[in-house]
Structures are given as C-alpha cells and as structure tokens.
Amino acid sequence: MDRRLVLAVLRLVFGLLTFAALGETILSLVDAGTFDPVNFFSYFTVLSNVIGAILLLVGAARWRAGHNATIDLLRGAAVVYLAVTFIVFAVLLANTDVDLATPWVNTVLHELIPIVVLLDWLVDPPEARLSMRQVASWLTFPMVWVGYVLIRGALVGKYPYPFLDSANGGYASVAIYIAGITVLFVVLSAIVHWLANVMGARRTSLT
C-alpha cells in the first residue's frame, strides 16, 4: 500500500479521534449544565489539540500533494504546543480538574495526541529546512494566550489552570510558573527544529 495513503488514513483517524474527545467533553459539560464555551476554549489543552487535529486532517486531505512550507511550519508549532501540554499536565495538573469528561478523553488529549503529532513530525518531516526566525514565530501564540488568560482572569476571576491564578501563591508564583513554562517552550522549539532538519536531511539523502 502507498506509504502516503497509510499516513493519510492514520492522520484522519487520529484527527477525528481528537474532535470526538473534545465533543464528548462538551456534551458532558452541557448535560451537567456547566458548559461555558469561552472558559472551555480558554484551556491551552483544548486549543493545542484543535490545532493539532486540524493539521492532521489537512495532511490527510492533501495526501497526494507535496509538502507545503506554511503547513509544515504550523505542524511544527503543533508539535511544540502539544508537547508542552503533555509535560505540564504530567508535572502540574495530573490531579487537577481541567473540565475533561472521562479518563479516555484525558488520555487522548493529554497523552496520545501529543505523541501522535510528534511521531507524524518524525515520520514525515518538512522538506525545507526551518530557520530559527521561523521557529521563533511558534512562541507568538502561547505569549498571546498567556496575556489573554491573565487579563480575562483579572476581569472575571476565572483561570483555566490554578498555577496562573495569583490567589494561589501570589503574582510572584505566577511569574515563576510563566517563566519556567516559557523556558520549556523555547527548549522544545529548539528540539523540534533540530529534529525536523536532521530527519529531513536524512530523508533527502535516502531519495
């Protein structure tokens, strides 16, 4: 079977699985009478999984086409965002209520899909080398998200994660967490960038 077709099928399956998990969560919150769309889509976990799922589905739909530099750049961003989701959940949020409906949903969004997008990146790396300037653009979305969360939290008193709420340890604690996670974003971006160029060069040498 055509390798591209197999990859497309897998991307389709995992992209749809992600949206199924998000849909299950929304339905569960609606049934409980606690669904707040603004609050729900303020979670970085939700946003990073939506980005990852969309790119998986785009990749599945474009399986006959060659690589697109813009899509590859966005794929790299998704790998970083979901890797941060995986690590932050494991370290800081494993015992925290983050509005996810069931254990399988939690597993899909926090563990499975981050691994899937990383493997997808390694199996099908970008054809063109990524510059550090391009990689730096991956930090724009998380910076905007943090600003939004802090401003919204100050206005309405709701934060998606407890470590961003100054009521839990004060603003110094929030600043330390943000600084630490920013370092994590930078380190992971550098690693994903290196992996892309190494794997891309290896694939080129084999063709």
Q: Is 158 left (phi over 0), alpha (psi -120 to 50) or beta?
A: beta
Model confidence pLDDT, tens digit, residues 112-141: 999 999 999 999 999 888 888 999 999 999
- Tokens representing 145 are 């998200």
Model confidence pLDDT, tens digit, residues 41-68: 999 999 999 999 999 999 999 988 888 9
Which 8-state DSSP code applies to residue 34?
-
* Per-residue confidence (pLDDT) for residue 201, from 0 to 100: 66
* Per-residue confidence (pLDDT) for residue 169, from 0 to 100: 84
* Per-residue confidence (pLDDT) for residue 102, from 0 to 100: 81
Residues 6+ apart with CB under 8 A from 58: 71
Segments of the chain with pLDDT less than 70: 1, 94-101, 201-207
- Tokens representing 132 are 């550090």
* Per-residue confidence (pLDDT) for residue 127, from 0 to 100: 86
Q: Tell me the chain's radius of gyration from C-alpha atoms.
A: 18
Q: Which residue has the tokens 């939004």?
A: 148
